[in-house]
Structure 1
Amino acid sequence: MGFEEVRTTHVGSLPRPPNLSPQNLDRAIEDVVKMQVEIGLDEVNDGEYRRQSFISDLTELPGFGVTELYWENSAGDRRFIPVILRTIGYDPSKPILAREVEGIKRALEKIGVRRRIKVTILAPSFMARVYPDPDWMPAKPRELIDKYRQQVRQYYPTIDDYLDDVKKIIINEVRAALDAGADVVQFDAPDILQFDVYGEYNPDKGRAKERVRRAVELNNEVLSKLPTEHLEIHSCWGNFNNSQFNTLGHYDDALPELYDLKVGVLGPFEVFDGIRDFEELKYFKQYAVPRDKKLALGIVSVKSRNVEPVEVIRRRYEAALEVVNGDPNKLIVAPGCGFASSATNPVQTLESARRKLRNMVLAVKGQ
């Protein structure tokens, strides 16, 4: 089946080593890059070790603040969220992602190898969710959203005013990352699939697809200004201890609308998460992947520390390969989500993540 041709990657975050601090951060990044190289991954990153969570690249810029507004997952766990409160403070001459790329390059140079370098950034559609607008923000308590909207209106009268700044920042970040040597920039847009964030599935496909279309159109306003061949977009149902944000919903809620995203790689998309699994592949078969795009599918679960055997992952890979008519050049494989979306609340240990990634590479490379 040509196992050797498929590209292997991961979504972004990896569990941090104990006692990670600014003093030993560079060494920790060197170690985690070396681990990825030794495993045999085709694309490597810094494990997002410079961030507190996957959203910390942009939502920790001056102007954002954590409030009493929260997102609640299907188990009832709450996560208090950042909200834009005033004008974003951003210096375009000091891009965040470029610094991450430089750190990965230094680590690879120490090892003396070359690998594809990957960095991640929040998508505009996700950033829209932290503007206090009841139509966009899926937060509780609902009555407080208007309070914060009144506060921010003196800086950004409308969500479009806010998004104008966001889009400029993201474009600057991506261009700087590519100039610094990144091969892949992955946009993180879990919001595209998490449209029923309160754990109540609405079977109204028209309503779901309209939300997806709105997110796709917003993201394309940025994606269309960047080199498609370097872009991926990840969406999922979340990765948090005890539960997903939403355990309901299927890919037919979002396909084929997802295929309109102006990226070279669609995904990684969560497929084998212990709930959806093989059944979800039928939707990707039903809606053929566009000829000008590759499909990245998550064939390893990040929601359990149990390490899937090579044989199990290989069966998943073979099923995923059928979706792209047996062409491994159209398929990229990864875990379904980040291993540690939050630095302080990882589902995995670094060792369980390493073993899962190792088995994934062994499974798809046929070794």
Structure 2
Amino acid sequence: MMEADAVGGTLWRADVVGSLLRPEELLRARERHARDELPTPEFKTVEDRAVESVIRMQERVGLDVVTDGELRRESFQSQMVEATEGFGESTLDAYLWGDWRGEGEVGDRRTERPAGMGVTGKLRRRRFLSVEEFVFARGATDRTVKVTLPSPSLYANFWDPERSREAYPTLDGFLEDVAELLREEVRELVRLGATYLQLDAPHYPLLLDGRTRRFYEERGWSLDRWLSRGIELDNHVIGGRGPGSDVTFAFHLCRGNQGSRWLVAGSYEPLAERIFGSVAAERLMLEYDDERSGDFSPLTHVPPDKVAVLGLVTTKSGRVETEEDLTRRIREASAHVPLERLAISPQCGFATSVIGNALSPEDQERKLETLVRTARAVWGDG
């Protein structure tokens, strides 16, 4: 499943997106720590034990790429706010707002952006976002450790023309500072030995829906600017470390994943040519677990120096995928991208926040096992 990649770097046929289900022990410890009932050293011990457990699980199923499950995060995007001065007070609600849809929902259905949140001061680093995550995970496994980072323009929803005016009169100025903080993060991770990094960018597919696109356009950027300036900031973070470098970058695009719910539906086609061709990442992590994602035809826009990682395994339910079904879908995709430039993964994380999705740890492990077995059946052992 892992082999030298003629496209550039190392090609992992079975990949993971990032987050994994938080163990109940960790969720309880997080709540106690927030109430000052559990001292920080004891809480960190629980965190460390949970991370070691999910790494062992990923090793057990045969993955060559592992993550720490984002278990130390409240949400996949919360580390920026927690690690940086200037954002003001934010709760979990800051990451949950939106018109969430789906059956078997977990948690509240939120439609309004929380009032009062946002950036109110100049951004200043308190600490690195993910260095602790990487250093601990690096010491706990001999597999490649993937570190996930947010796309800079994901934080546009934290900028408000009124509340943020004094610190950042324009959205551009704010996002430029976010991008620079993330670029420095990349430099530090690479210095410490990280070789596989990922930018999470679910806000781009949200532009497919007229309602959410209007919100983003109200920030001051047109759709065209989102697809030009936004990607320019992503590439600033990557910092030239794209195809041909010692560091592999992935770029994850999904349609919302929270409490087994989703935000938008629609083909990648309106975005594919601009994003697939412009972002300086080698691997495109694409959601394809059901009909909401459309067909595989947008894959024709994947450039020859990039790998399309098909998110065929759903993290939204315990639905049982089979090797036969996954293999069939990979073959369908290969009509648009050669098989040697394809890989597979879950469609998103299993728990993009502490809420998690409606499936069990056993479901999660079974899905990852099926993913690895399918990769071996299609591409061989590497």
Under TM normalisation by the shorter chain, which class is it? Answer: 0.7 to 0.9
8 Å CA contact 2:282–2:305 kept in 1: the answer is no
Per the alignment, residue 135 of structure 1 pairs with: none
Per the alignment, residue 79 of structure 2 pairs with: 57
Per the alignment, residue 100 of structure 1 pairs with: 133
Pairing 1:1-367 to 2, within 5 Å after superposition:
7-20=13-26, 21=29, 22=43, 23-60=45-82, 61-64=84-87, 65-66=89-90, 71-75=97-101, 77-78=109-110, 80=113, 83-91=118-126, 94-108=127-141, 114-132=142-160, 149-196=161-208, 211-228=226-243, 229=245, 230-241=248-259, 243-247=261-265, 249-276=266-293, 279-285=294-300, 287=301, 289-327=302-340, 330-366=341-377
Shift of 1:237: 0.2
Q: Helix, strand or coil for the counterpart of 2:147?
A: strand
Distance (whole Å) between structure 1 residues aligned to residue 124 and residue 349 of structure 2: 27
Per the alignment, residue 39 of structure 2 pairs with: none
Distance (whole Å) between structure 1 residues aligned to residue 61 and residue 128 of structure 2: 30
Shift of 1:51: 0.3
8 Å CA contact 2:13–2:342 kept in 1: the answer is yes
Quickly say closer, same or farther: Cα 1:197–1:130, change in 2 above 3 A: farther
Per the alignment, residue 40 of structure 2 pairs with: none
Report how many residues are paired: 332
Q: Helix, strand or coil for the counterpart of 1:240?
A: coil
Structure 1: gaps spanning 5 or more residues: 109-113, 133-148
8 Å CA contact 1:97–1:174 kept in 2: the answer is no
Shift of 1:214: 4.0
* 306-315 or 258-267, which deviates more: 258-267
Quickly say closer, same or farther: Cα 1:6–1:181, change in 2 above 3 A: closer
Distance (whole Å) between structure 1 residues aligned to residue 189 and residue 376 of structure 2: 29
Quickly say closer, same or farther: Cα 1:224–1:107, change in 2 above 3 A: closer
Quickly say closer, same or farther: Cα 1:25–1:252, change in 2 above 3 A: same
- What amino acid sits opposite 1:273 in the alignment? D
Per the alignment, residue 144 of structure 1 pairs with: none
- What amino acid sits opposite 1:71 in the alignment? W
Shift of 1:194: 0.7
* 251-260 or 347-356, which deviates more: 347-356
8 Å CA contact 2:22–2:356 kept in 1: the answer is no
Shift of 1:24: 0.9
Distance (whole Å) between structure 2 residues aligned to residue 348 and residue 183 of structure 1: 31
**Could you give the per-residue CA deviations for residues 282-305 of structure 1, whole angstroms, max 9, x where no partner exists?**
2213x3x21222222211112222
| Root mean square deviation, CA, Å | 2.8
* 96-105 or 257-266, which deviates more: 257-266
Shift of 1:320: 2.9
Q: Helix, strand or coil for the counterpart of 2:69?
A: coil
**Could you give the per-residue CA deviations for residues 318-344 of structure 1, whole angstroms, max 9, x where no partner exists?**
2233432232xx222111111101112
Distance (whole Å) between structure 2 residues aligned to residue 168 and residue 225 of structure 1: 14
- What amino acid sits opposite 2:22 in the alignment? R
Shift of 1:222: 2.9
8 Å CA contact 2:259–2:355 kept in 1: the answer is no
Q: Helix, strand or coil for the counterpart of 2:348?
A: coil
- What amino acid sits opposite 2:203 in the alignment? D
**Could you give the per-residue CA deviations for residues 254-278 of structure 1, whole angstroms, max 9, x where no partner exists?**
12111233434242110123533xx
Taking structure 2 as the reference length, what is the TM-score of the superposition? 0.78
Shift of 1:208: 5.4
Distance (whole Å) between structure 2 residues aligned to residue 101 and residue 299 of structure 1: 27
Q: Helix, strand or coil for the counterpart of 1:100?
A: helix
**Could you give the per-residue CA deviations for residues 113-148 of structure 1, whole angstroms, max 9, x where no partner exists?**
x2111001111121233212xxxxxxxxxxxxxxxx
Distance (whole Å) between structure 1 residues aligned to residue 323 and residue 2 of structure 2: 13
Shift of 1:252: 0.8
- Give identity over the alignment, percent: 30
Distance (whole Å) between structure 2 residues aligned to residue 311 and residue 209 of structure 1: 40
Shift of 1:243: 3.0
